[in-house]
Amino acid sequence: MNLDNPYVLKYFQQWAVWWVEFAGLDGLRVDTYPYNEPGPMSEWCKAVRAEYPKMNIVGECWDYNIPQVAYWQKDNPNPNGFNSNLPCVMDFPLERAIHTALCEDQVWWDEGMTRVYTTLSYDFLYHDLSNLMIFFANHDHARIGDSFNGDARKQKLALALLATLRGIPQLYYGDEMMFVERTDCPSHDGAKRIDFPGGWEGDSCNLFTEEGRKAATGLYAPASDLYNYAKTLFNWRKGCKAVQEGETLHFLSRKNEGARNITDNSYSFFRYKDSDAVFVYVNNNEEERSLDWDHYREFVSAPVMGRDVVTGEVITLQNGVKVPPKSALIVEFERP
C-alpha cells in the first residue's frame, strides 16, 4: 500500500477509527512496523492518538540492536529529528537475552544471566521504559516448552522475570503451561500455533479447567503447577506499584575460576518507589545459592523483613538466605 499517497493514508486513518469504534478496541498492534514508510506511519499514529489519547499502539520492531529499537519509540531524541509517534515498541533485545540466558548452564563472563544484566544496562537509550512491551516468546518463535526442553524450572524463571521487570508484560497463550509444538503438522507456523488442548472435540485433556490441568500427564504434567505460579505472580503484579511504576537497581556477581572470569549465573535486582520495594534473585544454576546481603548495601544497609510473593511467608532478607537451584526468590518489603 502506497502510504505516500495522501488518500491512501487518510483511508488507513479512517479504517483505524472505524475499527476502534465498531469493536471497542483498547489498543492496536502494528506488524513489522519499520517496513512501512516512516513519515506517513508517524502521521497515522499521531492521527489515531488524536482521536483516542489513551489508546496504546504497539509496534513490532524486530531488531536485537537496542538503539535501533529505541529509534522507533515516540519522542526518542533521534539525531535526525524523526519522531515516530509510536508510543510502544516490542523489546526484542530483552526477549533474546532471557531466552538465551536460561538455556545456558556453564557460562563465561558474558553469558547466562549476564545477558539480561547487560541488556537492561542499556535502558538509558529508551525514551519511555514504562511503555516497552516485554515478552519471552510469541507466535513467531519456537514454543517455550521445546526451547526449555520441558524443564518447568526454567519456565518459572522466565515467568518471574516477566512479572517483575520494567515494561508491559505479554504472555503468549499456553506459555503459562509450557506448550510444545505439534509433531504432525507440515507447516512450521502451524506447528507452533497449536490448538489449545480442551477446546476441541476429541481432545484427550482439558487445560481450560483446574481439574483438567491437575489430571494432565506426559508433556503437560507440569501444567497445573505452572499455571498457578503464573496466576500468583501476575495477580500480585496488578497491585504492586513498585513493579508497575518503580525504578530498577540491578546487580551481577562474577567470580574467577582458574584463569577464567565467569559469572555465577545469578542475577538480582530491586524494583522500588519511595516507600516500598521488591527484591528479586534469579538463581539459574543447578546448585543452591546463599544471599550475600552485604552485596546490596548500595540500596539497603541492614537486613529487612518482607513477604515472599509466591509462598506468602514472612522472610528476613539477610546473609545466608538460601535460594534453591533454578529458582527465583521474590520478596516485597517496606523501605527502611
Catalytic positions are 31, 60
**Alpha carbon 39 to its chain's center:** 30
Count Cα atoms within 13 angstroms, Cβ side, for 97: 24
33: three-class secondary structure by DSSP: helix
Burial class (CB in 10 A: 0-12, 13-18, 19+), 194: middle
Q: How many CB atoms lie within 10 A of CB 141?
A: 17
206: three-class secondary structure by DSSP: coil
Give 58's contacts (C-beta < 8 A, 6+ positions apart). 27, 28, 29, 30, 88, 89, 90, 133
Q: Are 150 and 219 in contact (CB under 8 A)?
A: yes
Element (H, E) at 152: helix 152-164
Q: Are 111 and 96 in contact (CB under 8 A)?
A: no
For residues 154 and 267, what is the distance between their CA atoms, to the nearest angstrom?
14
Q: Are 16 and 48 in contact (CB under 8 A)?
A: yes
For residues 41 and 288, what is the distance between their CA atoms, to the nearest angstrom?
50
- Cell matching residue 191: 506447528
